Amino acid sequence: MYKILSYCFFDLIRGRWIFIYFSFYLLLGFGLLFLNRDISNAIITLMNIVIYLVPLIATVFGVTYYYASKEFTELLLAQPIKRRSILVGQYLGVSLSLSLSLILGLGIPFILSGVFQSPEILDFILLLIIGCFLTLIFTAISFNISIANANRLKGFGYSVLAWLFLAVIYDGIFLILLIALEQYPLDKLSLFLVMLNPIDLSRTLMLLNLDISALLGYTGAVYKMFFGTFFGIISSSLVLIIWTILPIVSMVAKVNKKDF
């Protein structure tokens, strides 16, 4: 698995699209810091971009890589190599290359701006950690969808639909549900629903860490009472880890049963 991971990783970081992805965040970081000298405001702006853009890029890039390397994967399957090692190696190669591009692309401008001497250093580190988690989660989701659909058009369509549902549609359903059940106590329900969506959970953690939960009104106060505690931080971290592990387990189970 390590050799496959190394090959995929170094092959991708030499590619054009990873360079474009890195350059986008590099220019975005320098641009935000040039237009706004306040690191805290720059992090808030980045949060709104990272929370939605990182899952989308991970989803599209993951499904693209899977279909583009399908012939190579079938060649590897003819060798005495475990299917699990091949797939997990490719998955880690994709997700780690995307995560490295995100960390370096945003890290370079913020380090040069003196973020390590700023009180916002923890907010920035949390942003990068959340970005890496979302990359791991949505790359795994895209691999799952690709394995389940031999048709490339369906694979792309379902992958984008999965991102659209978790990024946009889920919030609409969440809001409608809260309005419809406003006469009932919804504290526990809202916390549960937030944890069912990695994008919502990541956004909530960032808002609370940036101490702007007051913008969420009563809901923000409820979230702060839970996620602001030690138990809440541990619970939310475990949920993100579970969101990372479950798609990987599902992916391995699918590929072991798949007839290539």
pLDDT band at 259 (very low <50, low <70, confident <90, very high): low
**13-27, 65-79, 151-165: range with lowest mean pLDDT:** 65-79
pLDDT band at 228 (very low <50, low <70, confident <90, very high): low
Structure tokens at 152: 């490339």
Cβ–Cβ < 8 Å for 97, 18: yes
Rounded CA-CA distance 117/53 in Å is 28
pLDDT at 14 over 70: yes
Rounded CA-CA distance 51/167 in Å is 9
CA nearest 131: which of 205, 40, 64, 232?
Answer: 205
Phi, psi for residue 87 in degrees, rounded to 5: -70, -45
pLDDT at 214: 47
Cβ–Cβ < 8 Å for 77, 260: yes
Rounded CA-CA distance 22/105 in Å is 5
Rounded CA-CA distance 205/185 in Å is 22
pLDDT band at 44 (very low <50, low <70, confident <90, very high): confident
pLDDT at 247: 92
**Total structural domains within the chain:** 1
Rounded CA-CA distance 39/56 in Å is 25
State the pTM of this model.
0.90
Rounded CA-CA distance 206/99 in Å is 18
pLDDT at 218: 45
Q: Which domain holds residue 63?
A: 2-257
Average pLDDT over residues 96-105: 94
Rounded CA-CA distance 235/216 in Å is 21
pLDDT tens-digit series, residues 180-209: 877 777 677 777 888 889 998 888 888 777
pLDDT at 59: 94
pLDDT at 224: 62
pLDDT at 54: 94
CA 124 to mean position of chain CA atoms: 16
CA 65 to mean position of chain CA atoms: 17
Burial (CB < 10 A; 0-12, 13-18, 19+), residue 21, is buried
- Residue bearing the bigger pLDDT, 40 or 131: 131
pLDDT tens-digit series, residues 110-158: 888 877 787 778 888 889 999 999 999 999 999 999 988 888 889 999 9
How much is the mean pLDDT over the chain?
84
pLDDT band at 217 (very low <50, low <70, confident <90, very high): very low
pLDDT at 21: 92
Amino acid, res. 254: K
- Residue bearing the bigger pLDDT, 226 or 46: 46
Structure tokens at 200: 């919502």
pLDDT at 260: 61
Rounded CA-CA distance 204/220 in Å is 9
The DSSP string of 226-246 is HHTSHHHHHHHHHHHHHHHHH
Contacts of 186 (CB under 8 A, 6+ apart): 178
